[in-house]
Amino acid sequence: MEDSIKKTAAASFDRELSKEEQKELAEALNRSEELRREKEALQHDEALLSKYEAAFGEGFAQKVSERWFSQTQTDFYPLFKKILLGAAAAILLMLFSAYYTDGDLSASSLLGLSDLSSDEILFALSSF
């Protein structure tokens, strides 16, 4: 129960409590010196935080933006080159494999359909 009372006390700074919550909190504050001290400490902290005004130096946003963009701009050409070379090697390997197994580079051999008759291909396509 004490945890729920502490949550209610903390919530009283963020929102308006219901009548029942206000009554429960008031009774708990009357019973517990420790809870009163915690609520006073929260009130003190809230007062300090409400007075705090964050101020940034002149040009702060510009400096942050420049630093962000300078770190995120990378040269993608080496990465693209590696991917392109890998893809080209895979395509060449596939072409070589198709030519080696079927003896030609027709569309049906590239798709692995050279061993199937036209009727079998049409049946396979119509079953979807």
Instruction: Indicate the pTM of the whole model.
Output: 0.38
In a domain, 69, yes or no: no
Torsion from C-alpha of 26, 28, 31, 34, nearest 10 degrees = -110
Where residue 48 falls among pLDDT bands split at 50, 70, 90?
Answer: confident
In a domain, 95, yes or no: yes
The whole-angstrom separation of Cα 125 and Cα 117 is 12
Give the domain range for residue 41.
2-51
Task: Assess contact for 101 and 113: CB atoms under 8 A.
Answer: no
In a domain, 72, yes or no: no
The whole-angstrom separation of Cα 55 and Cα 7 is 31
Residue scoring higher pLDDT (111 or 83): 83
pLDDT in tens, 8-24: 888 887 788 888 888 88
pLDDT in tens, 67-93: 877 766 667 777 788 899 999 999 999
Q: Which of 51, 66, 87 is the last residue of a domain?
A: 51
State which of 5-14, 32-41, 84-93, 115-124 shows the largest mean pLDDT.
Answer: 84-93
Is there a single domain that holds both residue 7 and residue 47?
yes
